[in-house]
A and B are shown apart, each in its own frame.
Chain A
Amino acid sequence: MKYTYYPGCSLKSTEIGYENSLRASSEILGIELKELPEWNCCGATIFPKLNYKSYLLLSTRNLALAESYGEDLVTACNGCLTALNKVNFYLQNNRDILEKINGVLGKSGLNYQGKIKIRHFLEVLVKDIGKKIIGEKIKKGIHGIKVASYYGCQYSRPFGPEHPENPQYLENLLEILGAEIVDFSHKTNCCGGILTISEESCLKLIKDILEEAENSKVDCIVTICPLCEINLQLYQKRIKIFIPVVYFTQLLGYSLGIEISKLGKEIFSLKKLLK
């Protein structure tokens, strides 16, 4: 299976562990991920508020590049997923704006026709690859590990392949790996995003999620977005609740037999349980 891969800025910098585990897992599962050449930052949630026109241009540039390669564009970051989908949707419904943008992009030889689909890597795993193939490749299950699936707020809203309030793909995947799924009521709650908006409100949101995870007595929280991961992990000292927060690709990679040292630092906090 072939896809064009859009890493986004976080996965190339501090969250390199996420990318490593993602790539390593894909290799074993036979997923070919070609990184989108010359991709640029998506602008995520803040940039559109600062300069909408530039944001449109930047995102469309990514989309135009992706379209030229033909495959579905796959990302592992909720922020990128939503930013690119928002622009895609907007352009598909405002052809006159698309024409104007194409006018500018044309100077670099790019043109966007509105045909690209942007998907989350989680969806690709569960829908395209599927239970059978993943199950076959599992070497070590993660039995007995109690997990809280945390999707973050932008995975299923406003765009997404699943029910906005009750997505299930992450639970489906973790079940295949053998984990014990704990019903996590905060699974689509917002993590607060960038703390530039209001430190107080964001910290409260993070506290709510961590508290719920603590009360549910889970061994770890599993995330699908680098920003959610950062938020839930970075402020644990301030909030004084300590729970391991790992990426789903790290648990996947571990189950597929990849060495922990190659999966990224986050999974180290689970080392004891995994042995």
Chain B
Amino acid sequence: MKTKERIGVFICHCGTNIAGKIDIKNLIQKNSGKENLFFFDYPYFCSQLGQAFIKEKINQLNLTRIVVAACSPSLHEKTFQKVAQEAGINPYLISCANIREQCSWVTLDKEKATEKAEKIIFSHINRVMYQQPLFVKEVEIVPRVLIIGGGIAGIEAALKIANAGKEVYLVEKEPSIGGHMAKLDKTFPTLDCASCILTPKMAQVRENKNIKLLTYSEVEEVSGFVGNFNVKIRKKARSVNLLKCTGCGSCIEKCPVKVDSEFDMGLSKRKAIYIPFPQAVPNAPVIDRENCLWFTKNKCGVCKKICPFSAIDYDMEDEITLEKFGAIIVAIGFSLFNPELIYQYGYKRFPNVFTSLEIERLLSSTGPTLGEIILRNGEIPKEVAIIHCVGSRDENYKSYCSAICCLYSLKFSYLIKERTKAKIYNFYIDLRLTRKGGEDFYNRVLEEGVEFIRGKPAKIEMQKNGKLVIECEDTLLGKIRKIPVDMVILSPAICPGKDTLSLAKILGLSLSSDGFFQERHPKLAPVSTMVEGIYIAGCCQGPKDIPETVAQAGLAAAEVISLIDKKKIEISPIVAELKEDYCSGCGVCIELCPYNALEYDSQKNKAKLTPEKCFGCGVCVSACFGGALSLKNYREEEILAQIEGIL
């Protein structure tokens, strides 16, 4: 035992909770002769007087370390750490011995209880000898937020945070913000127009001085930690100067190239220079360099000649910008399951089999058919089938439920019936109508004469006359039915967005088993991730409808605002420590860290630790063969000393 240290051992009676079982007086008497150990007892150390007593003794006897033998540290460790600090001792030079919940309250025999208490106390005396003073680190938080994804989730979060006076960078991969919601016609169940509620928000984003909008841009690299993220953003070359362009559209008119429109789900054509949709923000065109004649064959150049404002710039290059952010919100949305994978449903093989998003474009008044529901040959369908759960709740593809399909299938049933007077069939497994107004809408749709068949279609066959015959077991009737229809609408599963995997790697986020971003806690922390400072919102976390997306965006915004308002962040000192000299670069620890706090430094051929990312679990420490890693406050020496004392 080092003779410098003077250890105070404070044994609490806790009324009779401890004193009633453990013979404290005897224990103290037995050990009072020991050098540099000072024993005290008191009825309630957690009380004001008790705490004052400890402070008094520390000052009186120049104590350097403390052991408090009382109730569980879960209750009062922080209390006694504060006491120590106020008395001038580093708060991490104390150790709490649990002689109540794990001794006096669970042992019948008094003698055995006293013996056990003594062992526990001495194990902590041993331990505290090896403990080191630790200091909480304070880091300043950069008061700027990065939001990746400009759909409704990203837009909502951006507006909330910007309105709270914080700077926001909204990065969107596509040439315009709006996401999938901009493609929708009407939203369930109020059937209000999606654009009408979305475009004002998009305009607000454009006008808000606190929001810097980076469209046609992607996040390439992220390093750092909460409060201090270093991000590399690539602003792809739009080929159009946003400051000069007025959105007049002359360039688009004259462009000779026609390509399938992504916004219209391939149902119409767009030009090589194009604005994705009329209400796009920013309302300026972008040149699709892969299809533009100038960039592929060095021909044409008409748009540049025509532009009255000289806004076309073929020489524009991608711009890389490096920025620092205090927090990041990921809101990259979803992608739709490709029904081509289910061969039997004939998607892309038969002309009149559509996906839900394609139908949204048909329903839209600014879509390829200006809102008319017609078949590929222009005829109005007389019978329409809507198939639920295409790819969802399916062992072969996605096992989960996509949450929104039943609701929008009802919407389609209603709208299509209204516009075409067609006979509508819904093929379902179960009906999941959890939203407000869901059941009422279902009843309304039933009243309209829409037929619901409980059974998943086995296959769709096309007859010579173009009729699509759906073969299905009607489980309620107990019969196999073959129903000919003109148009089939598939409700495909909601899948993770295309960039989910690559973004997860860039940000160090983990994915859940279904491929969406993993939240920290499914109930109590649905928008937080295991990486402090990075949040997720919307469908990138799991399939959900617009109201739930908006709620999550709001929650993420609140988390970010409260984080940034702290201005400084306290980093717990109970983190890992890496001794470079001992590291052989085996890489075992890097694989194990759930927070990616350890990386491989290829230059030094060793592991590199970012202590600010460390949460202090110690898994890496126990895995390190070379003893290069240690966990502060739980170092090997401390625990081994505790083991020795307790046995």
Interface residues of A (CB under 8 A from B): 163, 165-166, 185, 215
CB of B4 within 8 Å of the partner chain: no
- Chain B residue numbers with a CB within 8 Å of A215 are 464
Query: Ordered nearest first, which 7 A-B pairs have the shortest CB separation?
Result: A165-B343, A185-B461, A166-B343, A165-B344, A163-B343, A215-B464, A185-B462
8 contacts between A and B (CB under 8 A): A163-B343, A165-B343, A165-B344, A165-B459, A166-B343, A185-B461, A185-B462, A215-B464
Q: Across the two chains, which residue of chain B brings its CB closest to A165? A: B343
Question: Which residues of B sit under 8 angstroms from A165, Cβ to Cβ?
Answer: 343-344, 459
Taking the nearest CB of chain A, how far is it from the CB of B458, in angstroms?
10
- The complex places the Cα of A165 from the Cα of B457 at a distance, in Å, of 14
CB distance from A205 to the nearest CB of B (A): 11
As a 0/1 sequence over residues 459 to 475 of chain B, the CB contacts with chain A under 8 angstroms (1 = contact) are 10110100000000000
Instruction: Name the B residues within 8 Å of A163 (CB-CB).
Output: 343
Cβ contacts under 8 Å, B344 to chain A: 165
Over the window 576-595 of chain B, the binary record of Cβ atoms lying under 8 Å from chain A Cβ atoms (1 yes, 0 no) is 00000000000000000000
Chain B residues numbered 335-394 whose CB sits less than 8 Å from any CB in chain A = 343-344
Q: How far is the CB of B496 from chain A (nearest CB, A)?
A: 25
Chain B, interface residues (CB within 8 Å), range? under 10
Residue of B nearest to A217 (CB): B464
Q: Which residue of A lies closest to B396 (CB)?
A: A164
Nearest-CB distance from B12 to chain A (Å)? 60
A165–B341 alpha-carbon span in the complex (Å) = 11
List which B169-212 residues lie within 8 A (CB) of chain A: none
Residue of A166, A185, A215 with highest tally of chain B CB at under 10 A: A185
In the assembled complex, how far is the CB of residue A157 from the closest CB belonging to chain B, in whole angstroms? 12
- Name B454-497 residues within 8 Å CB distance of A: 459, 461-462, 464
Beyond A165-B343, A165-B344, A166-B343: 5 further Cβ-contacts under 8 Å? Answer: A163-B343, A165-B459, A185-B461, A185-B462, A215-B464
Separation in Å of the B216 CB from the closest CB of chain A? Answer: 39
Give bound CA distance, A185 to B461, whole Å.
7
Q: Tell me the smallest distance from the CB of B256 to a CB of chain A, in Å.
A: 37
Question: CA–CA, A185 to B458, complex, Å?
Answer: 13
B469 to A, closest residue via Cβ: A185
A253 to B567 alpha-carbon distance, docked (Å): 84
Cβ of B459: which chain A residues have Cβ within 8 Å of it?
A: 165
User: How long is the Cα–Cα vector from A165 to B461 in the complex, in angstroms?
Assistant: 12
Instruction: Collect the chain B residues with CB atoms within 8 Å of residue A166's CB.
Output: 343
Complex Cα distance, B401 from A167, in Å, reads 30
Nearest residue, chain B, Cβ from A164: B343
**Least CB distance, A192 to chain B, in whole angstroms:** 14
Query: Across the interface, which residues of A come within 8 angstroms of B343, CB to CB?
Result: 163, 165-166
Q: Inside 8 A of B462's CB, which chain A residues have their CB? A: 185
Distance, CA A106 to CA B343, complexed state (A): 46
Give Cα A163 to B459, complex, Å.
15
Give A80 to B461 CA distance when docked, in angstroms. Answer: 30
Cα separation A163 to B342 with both chains bound (whole Å): 11
The smallest C-beta distance from A53 to any residue of chain B, in angstroms, reads 30
A185 to B470, CA, bound (A): 13
**CA of A275 to CA of B461, assembled, Å:** 34
In whole angstroms, what is the CA distance A165 to B458 when docked? 11
Closest approach, in angstroms, between the C-beta of B425 and any C-beta of chain A? 20
* CA of A163 to CA of B344, assembled, Å: 11
Rounded to whole angstroms, the CA-CA distance of A185 and B467 in the bound complex is: 14
Docked CA distance A96–B376 (Å) = 58
Q: How far is the CA of A215 from the CA of B464 in the complex (A)?
A: 8
A182 to chain B, nearest CB (A): 12
Distance in angstroms from B411 CB to nearest chain A CB is 30
